[in-house]
Amino acid sequence: MAEPPLLELRRLRKQFGGLVVTNDVSLSVPAGEIHAIIGPNGAGKTSLIHQVSGTLAPDAGQILFAGRDITRLPLHRRVRAGLARSFQITCIVPGFTALENVALAVQAREGSSFRFFRPVALEAPLNDAARAALEEVGMGARAAVPAGSLSHGEKRQLELAIALATRPRLLLLDEPLAGAGPEETERLIAILRRLRRDYTIVLVEHDMRAVFALADRISVLVYGRVIATGSPDAIRGNAEVRAAYLGEDEALPEGVAA
Amino acid sequence: MSLQLLLVQFLNGLQFGVLLFLVAAGLTLVFGVMDFINLAHGVQYMLGAYLGATFAAATGSFWLGLLLALPAALALGLVLEFLVFRHFYERDHLSQVLATFGVILFLNQAVKAIWGTAPLQVPIPALLSGGIEVMPGLQYPVFRLAIIAAGLATALLLWVLVERTRVGMLVRAGATNAPMVAALGVDIRRLFMVVFGFGAMLAGFAGVMAGPIFSVEPGMGDTVLILAFVVIVIGGIGSIRGAFVAALLVGLIDTVGKSLMPDLMRLFLDPSAARQAGAALASMLIYIAMAAILAIRPAGLFPVRAA
Amino acid sequence: MTAPGALLRREAVPLLVFLLLAAAPLLGFSHSHELTLMARAMILGIAAVSLSLLVGGAGLVSLGHAASMGFGCYAVVILDAANIVEAAIVVPVAIAAAALFSLVTGAVAIRTSGVHFIMITLAFGQMAYFTAASLAPYGGDDGYTLYARNTVFGRDWLQDRMAFHYVCLGLLVLAWLLCRVLLASRFGRVLRAARENPQRVLAVGFNPYPFRLVAYVIAGAVGGLAGVLLANATEFVAPAYISWQRSGELLFMVILGGVGSLHGAILGALAYVLLEEQLAALTEHWRMIFGPLLILCVLFLRGGLAGLLAPREAARHG
């Protein structure tokens, strides 16, 4: 029997009052793929990722993770199951150092956190794993800096490190490039390119250049509905997609090398 | 228990609930619009009672006392807003709790310094003295009925103000999304002052009305304050409708519970033990009810915003 | 990793305070009035430290902490009425009772947050107050006078004011150490992170609820211990000990000392008791001075007393 896709959405539906933000969305992401979700503003990308990560309950449909139904699982239990997410708006603990931010995530998967007496700052296994995750995103040198005083791009990198430290099987990245300057963007794209070797990634991103450079497959969301799924080339040539993006300032790039 | 006694308890509960609503309405509005937690709201009720008692004694008329006490309560509320509260709108809830706690300490003591610690007596106005036969063989004090009527009328007035006027619309919008209202170019400071003064006056009104039936004494606002908190937590913070329903609920549970519990306990215990256990249980009843309601609906019965 | 010297420097303020409290009776502050005052400050300090664990550590602003002290007080009273005065029994019972109360009320209260939490803890505290006032066999509103202080393994050591002083000091140091160690542990890290950013904590796979509840229960238990001491210090217990004003005062001690540090709560308790003593000597209506003073403190003394003593470290907890 073939292995089930790592993430599968079955006819997911969500509406707020009369507004249908997720309309019968079905998707399947096999292990090892980078799957990008794009769409014009207001297409329901953020609502969709909230439902997958567990901060928003769908009205109908199913979310399967490695074949297991996780539709009713709360956010923190999904993380434990191996589904990590990063946030569109930076979400870190500003008073902690970068290392502590990541060590908190390591702690979540390494043994019980109902340990009351040993100083956690001295737990070498936690710190080593946290440092490794920081190295992975090129933040090793910034470990001792309070997270609140990192630059915007560094915060985004830190957030990736936190997500990696939960040892996810799937990374759910919600606009990881949002607000990053051109240089920071280059650096983050390089990091993501490295991560694709080890992780399955679902990527929601506005930066089309990045999407077409990174993604194996792309799904296009318009008014809560998936209008097309396919390789970057197929999506680029899809007439319906072009029509949906007509008049948007973030037009599809012409020949971007994958 | 006889039907008559039950009816009396029911009316007493209603009357208490109505007073609680007058206090809770201001509290929930102030919190809803300004995100400001005001522990000193209870002392505004106390001040109303003292002002009413003093003016009534000076003029010899409860009605003149009421007429003078209302603007005085409003003025005091605005003075407090100007001197203390407005400096804390931007601060966290912890700071607001402590600052308004400081106001309570000051005013409770000030009341003792001015009026002494002995309770003041306020005679029931002649117009509303005596009883009325609410059912054959059962007299009920007219004044208490008047409180119920006045409370219900105020609730109606409030509903019209909040649902039907421009200021009311701003208040409702402010309770759901204060930054948006500010972005619309409304002078939030003025709106805050209006709401605050109005809330202070409502609490003062409740105090004046309570004067003839409860004793007017220092600290009388504290008990009411905490019950008003229970009311707005149960009702859903920021919701007038919730405050109304919850106030009546709390008034009834508290009053009826206090008279019913000892009798209920007598089914299981001997009389003296039943009296004690009943009294202890009755005083816990509304808090147990609150816990039960919150266990099911953490944001209260009529949530305005997500908790 | 930390050198003893660095530790000493970082903890200079609390260590100095403990040292001064230890030395005070030997330096001539040994009149019964002075010892009573210091005992009161240290006992309130224990309660305030445990409250600081909640407020500063977990971000849970409880306005009902005096109730946990009340459980300690009334455990002493109820056992006293049953002729049980042995501390080896009284203390565990008191701590267990306070912890149980915190567990039950906390289980409801911690489901909410922010203002809801403040109001609900206030309401539960008031419930404890009214319950105590309705306990007619134990004096009801009027309170209950203890026959004597608790005995320790059959001996009446606590009767001796000096001995009592050092018992209070010892337990204060223990309470402070306990809260400090807790905040520095794995448990404490989750707690502190959840205070700053609950969303983040969820997103790395933790549910903050059980962590907060355990902190709430521990704080309640320590509050219960403080209650036992308070009852023994005054040899009298009344519902007024657990009224919501007491909870407000405890909260003020935490703020006055500085939310950012545990020892701030101890400084706050000391300052509070001294201030109260000085003002009360001035006028019967001292609260008319104290109230505005409190407001000014909250308005202007943002880092608290601990912040004044260590301006640069005030922002961080620990």
B209-241 pLDDT, tens per residue? 888 888 888 888 888 898 998 999 899 888 888
In a domain, A241, yes or no: yes
In a domain, A195, yes or no: yes
pLDDT score of B1:
54
A113 CA to chain C: closest CA distance, Å? 5
Touch between chain C and chain A: 3 or more Cβ pairs under 8 Å: yes
Percent of chain C at pLDDT exceeding 70: 96
Are A172 and A78 in a shared domain?
A: yes
For residue A92, which residues of chain C lie inside 8 Å, CB to CB? 197, 200
pLDDT score of A248:
55
How far is it, in rounded angstroms, from Cα A43 to Cα C103? 45
Kindly indicate the confidence band of residue A51, based on its pLDDT and cuts at 50, 70 and 90. Answer: very high
Cβ–Cβ gap C201/A104 under 8 Å: yes
Are A42 and A78 in a shared domain?
A: yes
Show the domain range for A148. Answer: 94-167
Radius of gyration from C-alpha coordinates of chain B? 20
Radius of gyration from C-alpha coordinates of chain C? 19
Report pLDDT digits (tens) over C8-17: 777 888 899 9
Report pLDDT digits (tens) over C208-241: 999 999 999 999 999 999 999 999 999 999 999 9
In a domain, A213, yes or no: yes
In a domain, B307, yes or no: no
Kindly indicate the confidence band of residue A210, based on its pLDDT and cuts at 50, 70 and 90. Answer: confident
Question: Are the CB atoms for C19 and C202 separated by under 8 Å?
Answer: no
3-state secondary structure of A29: strand
- When pLDDT is averaged across residues A177-205 and rounded to a whole number, the result is 86
Distance from CA of residue C153 to its chain's centroid? 26
Last residue of a domain, one of A167, A190, A206: A167
Are A236 and A137 in a shared domain?
A: no
How far is it, in rounded angstroms, from Cα B232 to Cα C116? 9
State chain B's mean pLDDT as an integer. Answer: 85
In a domain, B77, yes or no: yes
In a domain, B190, yes or no: yes
Kindly indicate the confidence band of residue B168, based on its pLDDT and cuts at 50, 70 and 90. Answer: confident
In a domain, A230, yes or no: yes
Question: Are the CB atoms for B274 and B207 separated by under 8 Å?
Answer: no
pLDDT score of C316:
45
Nearest to B103 among C112, C255, C291 (CB): C291
Show the domain range for B200. Answer: 3-296
Are A55 and A156 in a shared domain?
A: no
In a domain, A89, yes or no: no
Are A51 and A78 in a shared domain?
A: yes
- Quick check: C73 pLDDT over 90? yes
Angle between helices B240-265 and B220-235 (to 10 degrees): 110
pLDDT score of B101:
93
C-alpha angle B71-B72-B77 in degrees, rounded to nearest 5: 95
Cβ–Cβ gap A108/C204 under 8 Å: yes
In a domain, A172, yes or no: yes
- When pLDDT is averaged across residues B20-36 and rounded to a whole number, the result is 86
Lowest mean pLDDT: which of B179-188, B195-204, B261-270? B179-188
Q: Write the CA distances from C192 to B78, C114, C139, integer angstroms.
A: 39, 16, 42
Are A100 and A155 in a shared domain?
A: yes
In a domain, A88, yes or no: no
- Quick check: C168 pLDDT over 60? yes
Are A130 and A196 in a shared domain?
A: no
- When pLDDT is averaged across residues C68-73 and rounded to a whole number, the result is 95
- When pLDDT is averaged across residues C188-200 and rounded to a whole number, the result is 93
For residue C189, which residues of chain A lie inside 8 Å, CB to CB? 100, 103-104, 107, 113, 120
In a domain, B301, yes or no: no
Are A135 and A205 in a shared domain?
A: no
State chain A's mean pLDDT as an integer. Answer: 86
pLDDT score of C4:
66
Are A142 and A194 in a shared domain?
A: no
Identify the bridge partners of residue C240 per DSSP, sorted by sequence position: none
- Quick check: C313 pLDDT over 50? no
Are A163 and A58 in a shared domain?
A: no
Q: What is the dihedral of CA A192, A195, A196, A202, to 10 degrees?
A: -70
Query: CB neighbours (10 Å) of residue C84?
Result: 14
Kindly indicate the confidence band of residue A258, based on its pLDDT and cuts at 50, 70 and 90. Answer: very low
Q: Chain B within 8 Å of C283 (Cβ-Cβ)? A: no
Q: Write the CA distances from C258 to B168, C49, C269, integer angstroms.
A: 40, 11, 11
More confident residue, B279 or C20: C20
Report pLDDT digits (tens) over A81-114: 888 888 777 789 999 999 999 999 999 888 788 8
- Domain of A204, CATH number, reads 3.40.50.300
How far is it, in rounded angstroms, from Cα A237 to Cα A249? 18
Cβ–Cβ gap C181/A119 under 8 Å: yes
Percent of chain A at pLDDT exceeding 70: 94
C217 CA to chain A: closest CA distance, Å? 14
In a domain, A130, yes or no: yes
Q: Which residue of C has its CA nearest to B110?
A: C288
Q: How would you classify the pairing of strands C144-145 and C236-237?
A: antiparallel
pLDDT score of C61:
93
How far is it, in rounded angstroms, from Cα A158 to Cα A142? 10
3-state secondary structure of C29: coil
Last residue of a domain, one of A167, A194, A228: A167
Kindly indicate the confidence band of residue A240, based on its pLDDT and cuts at 50, 70 and 90. Answer: confident
How many domains would you assign to chain B?
Answer: 1
- Quick check: A134 pLDDT over 90? yes
Report pLDDT digits (tens) over C23-58: 988 888 888 888 999 999 999 999 999 999 999 999
3-state secondary structure of A24: strand
Percent of chain B at pLDDT exceeding 70: 95
Cβ–Cβ gap B276/C116 under 8 Å: no
- When pLDDT is averaged across residues C105-132 and rounded to a whole number, the result is 89
- When pLDDT is averaged across residues B129-147 and rounded to a whole number, the result is 82
Nearest to C116 among B101, B276, B307 (CB): B307
Kindly indicate the confidence band of residue A257, based on its pLDDT and cuts at 50, 70 and 90. Answer: very low
- Domain of B138, CATH number, reads 1.10.3470
Nearest to C127 among B88, B287, B294 (CB): B287
In a domain, B304, yes or no: no
In a domain, B60, yes or no: yes
Last residue of a domain, one of A114, A143, A167: A167
- When pLDDT is averaged across residues B173-178 and rounded to a whole number, the result is 69
Are A60 and A129 in a shared domain?
A: no
Q: Chain C within 8 Å of B277 (Cβ-Cβ)? A: no
- Quick check: C318 pLDDT over 50? no
How many domains would you assign to chain A?
Answer: 2
- Neighbours of C (≥3 Cβ pairs closer than 8 A)? A, B
